[in-house]
Amino acid sequence: MLNYFSLEKVIMKNNKLNIPGSGMKTEKGIVYPIPSSGKQILVLVASFFAALLFGFVISSIPGDLSELAIGVLFFLFIIIFMLGYSIWIGWMKLKILSTFKKTILRGFKNILTKNEAGLKNDLSFPEEKLLDLLLASQKSTKIFVIMGWLSGLVGGIISLSFDTSINKTILFVLVIIFAAGFGHLLYYFGRRGYFPFPEE
């Protein structure tokens, strides 16, 4: 059923939005065009490897961390990416369901009655509604920033228990900075539509 809810599919099928590459200004913010699926997949994969890179860099700074401590730091950045992405997807599913609930019900009724003309009309959404939904999708990727700061704070607190020669206050601050920075990096790309909405 999620195929019907795919934001990219809905917009592309309607083919109503002509958004310039630099974005379109609206009352609620700037809406960016949806990148190609190839670019989206590339950014998604790169984000995962970026999580590993951030974990490697922060765990290499002290130079004497145990394998468990290194694993915790690696896991921290993977959590920011994976959990942030999952929360974003879940929120967007609810948003799409809420936005198109009446349209979906009418469409389902037309499917049961085999009313093809009515179904075709139900699958045509107003441009304003599509813009609002696309903007909400892009702006809601700010969850990565929230996850970055929260995970950084938790990871920083955990790092205080690490047995290392580096000053623990410095490590605490570094963990927060790296985690928050990674969250902001993910938000930068998410805000510009580079994270795909999966189809099930």
Residue type, 58: I
Position 28 in a domain: no
- The token duo for 113 is 């009655």
Position 124 in a domain: no
Q: In this structure, how many other beta carbons lie within 10 angstroms of the beta carbon of residue 66?
A: 11
Question: In the prediction, which pLDDT does 33 show?
Answer: 86
Distances (CA, A) of 24 to 15, 34, 131: 16, 12, 10
Question: In the prediction, which pLDDT does 126 show?
Answer: 63
- The token duo for 94 is 């609810």
- The Cα 85–Cα 143 span in angstroms is 8
Position 183 in a domain: yes
Q: In this structure, how many other beta carbons lie within 10 angstroms of the beta carbon of residue 197?
A: 20
Question: In the prediction, which pLDDT does 135 show?
Answer: 87
Position 113 in a domain: no
- The Cα 16–Cα 22 span in angstroms is 18
Question: Virtual CA dihedral for 31, 18, 93, 54, nearest 10 degrees?
Answer: -50
Count of domains for the chain = 1
Position 122 in a domain: no
Position 199 in a domain: no
Q: What is the pTM of this model?
A: 0.80
| Positions in the chain short of pLDDT 70 | 1-17, 99-127, 198-200
Task: Tell me which residue range forms the domain holding 58.
Answer: 36-100+139-191
Question: In the prediction, which pLDDT does 104 show?
Answer: 60
Q: Which residue has the tokens 């948003």?
A: 95
- SS3 state of residue 62: coil
Position 110 in a domain: no
Position 112 in a domain: no
pLDDT, tens digit, 9 for 90 and up, residues 89-133: 999 888 877 766 666 655 555 455 555 554 455 555 666 777 888
